[in-house]
Amino acid sequence: MSVQRVGLVVHGGRPAAVAVADVVRRWCGRQDVGCVAIDVWSPDEERRDALDEVEAAGSPDLIVTLGGDGTFLRGARLAAQNDALVLGVDLGTLGFLTEVPADGVECALDTIHRGRADIETRLMLTMRASCPLELPEGMDALLRYGRGPALPPPLVRSECAVALDWGVALNVTALNDIVLEKLARDRQVSLGVYLSGRLLASYSADAVLVATPTGSTAYSFAAGGPVISPGADAIVFTPVAPHMTFNRSVVAAPDEAVVLRVLDHSGRAAVSIDGQLRGVLDPGDWVGVYAAPQRLRVARLGPTDFYGRLRERMRLTDAPATDDADTTPLWPHTTPAPDDLAHLRLPSLPADVDRRR
């Protein structure tokens, strides 16, 4: 692709991110590419809906995030509005989403601008609800304590049909997860969980979360959920501290909706989308979580070594009993794969290997 306009999402609390933002602006100036800061706020300002943010920024076709995974999620929220490409610059501490180090940002921008970057797509979630989401009075002031202003409640998607039994479609996308969790510390939330329209189980728990493969290494992982390759198409729901024997995650197909209904005897439930509180549900309310029609497009400069990153971030080989200096890949990738393995995703051959062998 030839980049026309860049939107910069910067972690303002990191001096390194602010410095790299200047590098991106200078690159844009040399290339005659528009550049605008997006999703910028001060503590006394209101944040805006993603659609308003993107329109105010002139609908950038490339979103560059400068920070960690949290900053990347901010950029993904915006990119989903107009199918923009996202490039994550790694300035965090435990990143699974960001792609390039700070000193490689100019090379990455050149690669994207010349149309030579790999484009990886990621499944996202969206939702319908029995009613529009709202935050109770005074909740926003509580959320601001020690952090920036909260995002506004999601808008209703005007282009989607509204019917009493199907609820309202909300203008949200989640790259990681959508979570229903208890509001009061001394009272769990009680939820009925439906898969493909059928009741699977009812839970009394601290929370129940619905995650994408991308989000499987975030809150879902911390709650005991499975790690799922980002190349897979699946939806996983995981209960958090449930008071019942069945406390396992369930992995659903990408075309199966997960509906969470707040039971009549439950306390109120908070709805969080990618870690941001966006509304509160009363007993009897429900949300339906399902795969979004669009997928997030992420710029990659080469094949993603997800399992190498998992091994590194989770320190899977740091135990003394696992120390083995002679450990090598299962298959030494120095010759072309045999025919029965040719359909698998394997590391690329070195450039000097004779591919005809």
Which residue numbers are catalytic?
69
How many Cα atoms sit within 13 Å of 32 on the Cβ side? Answer: 0
Question: What backbone phi and psi angles, to 5 degrees, belong to 299?
Answer: -80, 130
Tokens at residue 71, please?
Answer: 């900053």
Distance CA 279, CA 139 (A): 10
Task: Please choose, from the candidates 179, 299, 200, the residue with its C-alpha nearest in 3D space to the C-alpha of residue 251.
Answer: 200
Tell me the three state secondary structure of residue 86: strand
DSSP code at position 284: T
The length of the chain is 357
Quick check: 177 and 237 in contact, CB under 8 A? no
Torsion, Cα of 297, 299, 302, 303 (10° steps)? -30
Q: What stretch of H or E contains 273? A: strand 269-273
Outline where 47-164 has alpha helix (H).
50-56, 69-79, 105-113, 139-143
How far is CA 31 from each of CA 79, 109, 119, 170, 287, rounded to the nearest angstrom?
A: 22, 10, 21, 38, 45
Amino acid making up residue 338: P
Q: What stretch of H or E contains 298? A: strand 296-300
Distance CA 7, CA 151 (A): 19
Residues 165-185 as b/e (b if ≥16 CB within 10 A, e otherwise) read eebbbbbbbbbbbbbbbbeee
309 Cβ partners below 8 Å, 6+ apart?
A: 96
